[in-house]
Chains A and B, each alone.
Chain A
Amino acid sequence: NAGVMQNPRHLVRRRGQEARLRCSPMKGHSHVYWYRQLPEEGLKFMVYLQKENIIDESGMPKERFSAEFPKEGPSILRIQQVVRGDSAAYFCASSPPSQNNEQFFGPGTRLTVL
């Protein structure tokens, strides 16, 4: 059973461009979480999704950030018009329906904004 997969592992964008981060949960997992890790900080919750539904987006910045988890395909975290402050590691985690509190993390996408 493959683990949580994220791609790309590294992403470089110039200010003003769009960043798309992808997350494929573990097989059988229908819950996806996105976290952001700024340099020298712990992980901060961004959003919690189930298939085709956003359950909690209380950690998402109000502007430029969006997330989806379609019926088919990976979950996408989209950052529009990136700024230097968006440079961070973005981690995705997934969990099965019956064990929401045990999350399995992907390797992360490291976004660098030039």
Chain B
Amino acid sequence: AQSVTQPDIHITVSEGASLELRCNYSYGATPYLFWYVQSPGQGLQLLLKYFSGDTLVQGIKGFEAEFKRSQSSFNLRKPSVHWSDAAEYFCAVAVGGTSYGKLTFGQGTILTVHP
């Protein structure tokens, strides 16, 4: 069964600093990969996804992620963090194929942004 690990439970950065959130997955083949963001008391919003093709994926709000097959990683990055980026971030994987979409989530990384 696939699994997702987000090694950092909590990250604190200063506004304007760069950000990288780590995600490692365990799966026999190339999975479908996702990053979601959750603000307090809210649902999840999709930031970006990787299905195939270019391994550097651009998302909303200035985020990007890079799929590295050799490292089984899909790290999320942003060059300059804004205070409004403070939230919890979840990496998720899905079994491939067009007929099944169960998502397996990591435990999440809470991002705090200092002014």
Contact = CB atoms under 8 A, between A and B. Distances in A.
A31 B94 CA distance: 15
A42 B32 contact: no
Interface string A29-49: 001010100000111110010
Contact of B99 (A4, A100, A108): A100
Interface string B31-43: 0100010000011
Contacts of A18: none
B105 A105 contact: no
Nearest to A95: B101
A44 B4 CA distance: 12
Given A56-B102, A100-B100, A105 B90 contact: no
Contacts of B102: 33, 45, 48, 56
Interface residues of B, number: 25
Interface residues of A, number: 25
Interface centre among B44, B49, B90 (most CB of A within 10 A): B44
A45 B104 contact: yes
A69 interface: no
Contacts of A91: 43-44
B42 A56 contact: no
B90 A43 contact: yes
Contacts of A33: 101-103
B89 to A, nearest CB: 11
A24 to B, nearest CB: 13
Interface of B: 32, 36, 42-46, 49, 51, 90, 92, 94, 96-108
23 contacts: A4-B43, A31-B101, A35-B105, A42-B105, A42-B108, A43-B44, A43-B92, A43-B103, A45-B102, A48-B101, A55-B100, A56-B100, A91-B43, A93-B44, A95-B101, A101-B32, A101-B98, A101-B101, A102-B46, A103-B103, A104-B46, A105-B44, A108-B43
CB-CB nearest 4 A-B residue pairs:
A100-B101, A42-B105, A105-B44, A105-B43
Given A43-B103, A106-B43, 5 more contacts: A31-B101, A33-B102, A48-B101, A102-B49, A105-B45
